[in-house]
């Protein structure tokens, strides 16, 4: 996880296209490893709740990408019922479980939750608008990123 | 007894904060009520829940994009209410 580069997830643990579910994982950087914690907050580092929402958005964003075989790009369009249930601290290991509950008509909607030691720390319903990639190079860059997160492509990442 | 249209109008009024009296059977959700596609998705979810059906939004979008249907068939509220009644009937068949 590199917060300041919005690289929120360390790996895609599992994807099941048929069941429309995904699991991802990440470890929050230690307090001295990210400047985010210099400001949030000085002397009391806390993972910003808005970045937990980003973690959730990226989790089912990858699933939304996978469901269209990386042919369209899911853009965050809505966040509903987002709850940050407890403080998340530097060094915490998190997993995110997501499920797509609607596809089609240009939108994908998911439900996703973050867990620490199996206990829910955050959850939300997230909507994405699916847009064409601006160019093939960018699409390939996203596929390469998925590959680095261990997304199980059936064929090698080109 | 409230009609399908009445329920749809209540959902739209609540979801999009549009005065109920402005929502009429002949209103076009997009052209008259200025509901955008993102808000319409919320309306569709609420309709699905209220009537125990699933609006085939992807199919409708495809038909409109392919020129096989007009937006009036799905987004004029009296027509939308008819589509909902058809889906309810099909579920019970």
Quick: pLDDT tens for B13-72.
999 999 999 999 999 999 999 999 899 999 999 999 999 999 998 899 889 999 999 999
Shortest CA gap A30–chain B (Å): 38
- Stretch (H or E) spanning B10: helix B4-16
B38 contacts A105? CB cut-off 8 A: no
Confidence of residue B1 (pLDDT cuts 50, 70, 90): low
Q: And the tokens for B25?
A: 């059977």
What residues of A are labeled active site? 40
Question: Using CB atoms and an 8 Å cut-off, which of residues 29-88 of chain B contact chain A?
Answer: 37-38, 41, 44-45, 57-61
- The residue length of chain A stands at 158
Determine if residue A81 is left, alpha or beta; phi over 0 gives left, psi from -120 to 50 gives alpha, anything else beta.
left
B61 contacts A77? CB cut-off 8 A: no
Confidence of residue A153 (pLDDT cuts 50, 70, 90): confident
| Best residue in A74, A78, A104, A105 for a mutation probing chain B (most B CBs within 10 Å) | A105
B58 contacts A105? CB cut-off 8 A: yes
Shortest CA gap B16–chain A (Å): 15
| Best residue in A107, A108, A111 for a mutation probing chain B (most B CBs within 10 Å) | A107
Q: And the tokens for B46?
A: 């609420």
Residues in chain A with CB shorter than 8 Å from the CB of B60 are: 105
- The residue length of chain B stands at 93
A102 contacts B38? CB cut-off 8 A: no
Rounded to the nearest 5°, which phi and psi values hold at B13? -60, -45
Confidence of residue A69 (pLDDT cuts 50, 70, 90): very high
Determine if residue A103 is left, alpha or beta; phi over 0 gives left, psi from -120 to 50 gives alpha, anything else beta.
beta
Cβ contacts of B30-39, under 8 Å, gap ≥ 24 = B30/B71, B30/B75, B31/B71, B31/B75, B37/A105, B37/A106, B37/A107, B38/A77, B38/A78, B38/A107, B38/A127, B38/A129, B39/B15
Residue carrying the six token digits 């959850």: A123
**Residue-range domains of chain B with CATH:** 4-92 (1.10.1200.10)
- Stretch (H or E) spanning A93: strand A93-104
Q: What is the ipTM of this complex?
A: 0.72
**Residue-range domains of chain A with CATH:** 9-148 (3.10.129.10)
Higher-scoring residue by pLDDT: A134, B93: A134
């Amino acid at each position: 996880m590199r917060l300041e580069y919005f690289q929120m997830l360390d790996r895609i643990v599992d994807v099941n296209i048929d069941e429309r579910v995904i699991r991802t994982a990440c470890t929050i950087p230690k307090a001295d490893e990210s400047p985010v914690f210099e400001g949030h907050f000085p002397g009391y580092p806390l993972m910003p709740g808005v970045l937990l929402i980003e973690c959730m958005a990226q989790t089912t964003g990858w699933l939304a990408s996978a469901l269209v075989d990386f042919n369209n790009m899911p853009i965050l369009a809505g966040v509903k019922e987002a709850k940050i249930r407890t403080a998340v601290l530097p060094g915490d290991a998190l997993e995110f479980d997501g499920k797509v509950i609607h596809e089609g008509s240009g939108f994908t909607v998911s439900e996703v939750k973050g867990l620490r030691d199996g206990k829910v720390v955050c959850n939300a319903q997230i909507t994405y608008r699916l847009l064409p990639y601006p160019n093939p190079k960018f699409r390939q860059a996203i596929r390469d990123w998925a590959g680095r997160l261990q997304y199980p492509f059936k064929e090698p990442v080109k | 007894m409230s009609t399908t249209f009445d329920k749809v109008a209540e959902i739209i009024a609540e979801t999009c904060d549009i005065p109920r009296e402005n929502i009429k059977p002949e209103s076009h959700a997009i052209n008259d009520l200025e509901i955008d596609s993102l808000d319409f998705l919320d309306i569709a979810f609420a309709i699905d829940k209220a009537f125990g059906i699933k609006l085939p939004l992807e199919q409708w979008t495809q038909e409109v994009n392919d020129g096989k249907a007009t937006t009036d068939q799905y987004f004029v509220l009296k027509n939308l209410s008819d589509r909902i009644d058809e889906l309810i009937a099909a579920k019970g068949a």
